[in-house]
Amino acid sequence: MIIPLFPLSICLLPQGYTQLRIFEPRYKRLVSESLKSGVGFGLCMLADDKKTILPMGTLTQIIDFETLEDGLLGISVQGQKTFIIDNVSVDSDGLKRADVSLIDCWPRDIIEPQTGQTGVSTDARRKDKALSHTLKQILQQYPQHLAHYSEENFNDIAWVCQRWLEIIPLSSKEKYQCINSHDHQLAKSFLADIIK
């Protein structure tokens, strides 16, 4: 699958939501192409040098757009699937495109399973609940973001860890290590060290 890339210093993961301001002509073209094709575009995190595109990104769909007060184009986007970049080409105006391979999302990990299901220690689940509760408190200050998430999402610690990675001030290298894992456990251990 070949998609246009939008490299940014932010992190957006599957099921995540964010808003972007578009002003460069090449990215206006990216938005136009993405809306016409319905395929979306790749949001890729930049390395800590703010130049190098990390080799993973998130296939992203535009869910809304508007003209902002300053006349710029504003878009609301939601992450769909993680991908690995196979190779990159550059259009004449500098817009990057990549041949990408989609990879599986982290498996769900329910904090409070149905009655009778066990397997995770009570202490670990208490910490998971605390991470979820603190995230919800933070997002309540951003009701437009919170409106895109359901109560059920906050009961999945894998989903909670992805939202934390989007907002917490870790280096790109640290975020990439977490994202590149096959599940949420590395992210959870990073978060446990930071959020008490």
With a cut of 80, say whether residue 120 has pLDDT above it.
no
Residue 156: DSSP 8-state: B
Compute the distance between CA of residue 63 and CA of residue 144 in angstroms, rounded to an integer: 13
Candidate from 97-101, 115-119, 143-147, 188-192 with smallest mean pLDDT: 115-119
Amino acid at 137: Q
Candidate from 99-103, 113-117, 167-171 with smallest mean pLDDT: 113-117
pTM of the model as a whole = 0.90
